[in-house]
Chains A and B, each alone.
Chain A
Amino acid sequence: MAYTANKPNAPDTRELRAKIPGWGVDLDPGMRPAAKKEVYDPASTGAHWEVPEQQIATFPRERSTEHREITPVFGTACPPKGLSGIIRRAAYRHWSEGQTMHWLALMFADRIDVLESLVVDLFRGKPDNFLAEWGIKAELTRHGFKSRFGRHRADTWRVPLDVLMLASSSLLVLGAGYVMVNGFKSMLAPPKRRWLFG
């Protein structure tokens, strides 16, 4: 009972040991590798350098303002490009990780990136197939209905909402993509002369 000094319902540890494979093998904190949070042991890591060699940057690599300089290694997966790239670079240049604006700008750039990529890949001949990319087939092959309904799941109430949000945001993306494609086309097309009287 919480109202007296003893711990309530102390379990029978012999019974637990018999019932549960491995019960108590790491009861001694000494057996737990990270029980002590910090263990100074630089020789154990496999590193044979004190300061790692510097990876060469082939493009201006963005970095957190909280770093003194670019780290010795860094990812080169998707260099910033387009409008989203400009926003991302600004987000890294202007705000530390402590500033909400840093993260909001990055989130905003993520959405712009989706739009830009939609249009660019259309022109690259790799148009997005939304149905395939959503993996909607899994609804059939992986028992969409049976998995969700009649099973006391806490998330079934929001299924219609999820669908609605996905549909509306996709329409928005597609619509904006359409406008961008058209704008782009008319930029490339020879200027039309429009005289007032044909």
Chain B
Amino acid sequence: MRAMVYRGPYRVRVEEKDMPTIEHPNDAIVRVTCAAICGSDLHLYHGLMPDTRVGFTFGHEFTGIVEEVGSSVQSLRRGDRVMMPFNISCGACFFCARQLYSSCHNTNANATAAGGMFGYSHTAGGYDGGQAEFVRVPFADVNHAIIPEWMSEEDAVLLTDACPTGYQAAEMGDIKEGDVVVVFGAGPVGLFAAKSAWLMGAGRVIVVDHLDWRLQMARTFAHAETLNFTQVNDVVQHFKDVTDNLGADVCIEAVGAEADGAGFQHLATVKMKLQGGAPTALNWAIDSVRKAGIVSVVGGFGPLFSAVKFGDAMNKGLTIRTAQCSVKRHWPRLFQHVKNGVLKPSAIVTHRLALDEIAEGYHMMSSKLDNVVKPLVFPRAA
């Protein structure tokens, strides 16, 4: 089969690879019909995530058709149209039993700090991902939903990560009616976080980024106010000014390790790898939120330490909430929102690529070209 493979920092190509096989009785093999490139994939692509091996296939957001099932799989049959959460979870461990699917203790041999994930380096368990014609799905009885008749494939693929992650980011902000919510990052995750903040009754939602077309989308898709951080001298001061010196009630960090906005930090972290990431946006969030406020962090950072302004966080009595999204947990509610037209996840899709264009796709997403927000990949040209 054909699959995207990693060749080294900033380099990917398409290769002929062995077909995945059933390696455990509850495995399924899925023929991928649609996959997405995610902002998280960029951390791998840039060589920032430890134990990203050459020959590894990325892709944790995908939908497909069941090709084959292992002997113990009960809820799936060949030919079913399915979507998978980016998390791989066993359904039975301490964490899964408490619906913390992203923290599954039975699926990531390489690390205990995170559960297994599709296509997210060996630090997340070493499972090849879905930017390929076929993919192995472990614990298939736990890790799938049949795509409902009425749901489009593009909505479904966005529900495998970006949309539930944005929703959970807002959820962790414990938003109360009328709250001022500031979202750092107008990527897919930030856009869905902003949108979700309204569903939870926010009074004001402000999205921060430096890419004009993404801020435009924050205004139209997410009905938010926007701030281009290159247009103000001091982001933190700005938020104090526009909130009567109080600060935001909730700040959401949807940027992660490769933040821009502080050149020195970017150099020391992303370029020289002296830290687990540039916490520029995280520090803005900590300083822009009001005392006793909530900072909800979904941006991805590496396992090494980062220079986070923890003193401010403590002095201000902040609540810091974090998580890899537990995708499956959010599906019932989000399915309703999509069905009722409250959410249209696929509205943020900007590019549809063939697998052969994957290298250009990564370059475009990494360098943020051509007004990209969310690119999809179709492993088999129709």
Contact = CB atoms under 8 A, between A and B. Distances in A.
Contacts of B247: 2
A22 B126 contact: no
A149 to B, nearest CB: 12
Given A1-B244, A13-B203, A147 B72 contact: no
Interface string A59-102: 00111101100111111111000001000100010000100100
Interface in B204-223: 204, 210-212, 223
A16 B202 CA distance: 9
Nearest to A88: B51
Given A22-B343, A77-B126, A153 B210 contact: yes
Interface in A154-191: 154-155, 157-158, 161, 165-166, 169, 173
Given A53-B25, A62-B109, A78-B126, A25 B337 contact: yes
A132 B359 contact: yes
A33 B116 contact: no
Q: Interface majority SS on B: helix, strand, loop or mixed? A: loop
B9 A169 contact: yes
A121 to B, nearest CB: 8
Contacts of A10: 178, 203
Give the interface size bracket for A toward B: 35 or more
A31 B243 CA distance: 29
Contact of B13 (A34, A70, A132): A132
Nearest to B334: A33
B2 interface: no
Given A53-B25, A110-B50, A114-B54, A71 B200 contact: no
Residues of A contacting B: mostly = loop
Interface in B153-208: 168, 171-172, 174, 177-178, 196, 198-201, 203-204
B223 to A, nearest CB: 5
Contacts of A143: 369-370
A27 interface: yes
26 contacts: A1-B246, A3-B245, A24-B199, A26-B200, A33-B329, A33-B332, A35-B171, A42-B96, A45-B92, A45-B96, A45-B142, A71-B107, A71-B116, A73-B88, A77-B56, A77-B126, A103-B50, A134-B10, A135-B359, A135-B360, A139-B363, A148-B367, A152-B228, A153-B210, A154-B230, A158-B263
Given A48-B141, A73-B107, 19 more contacts: A9-B204, A32-B200, A34-B168, A35-B174, A45-B97, A46-B91, A47-B139, A50-B92, A52-B92, A70-B109, A73-B23, A107-B273, A109-B51, A134-B11, A136-B363, A147-B370, A148-B369, A153-B230, A153-B368
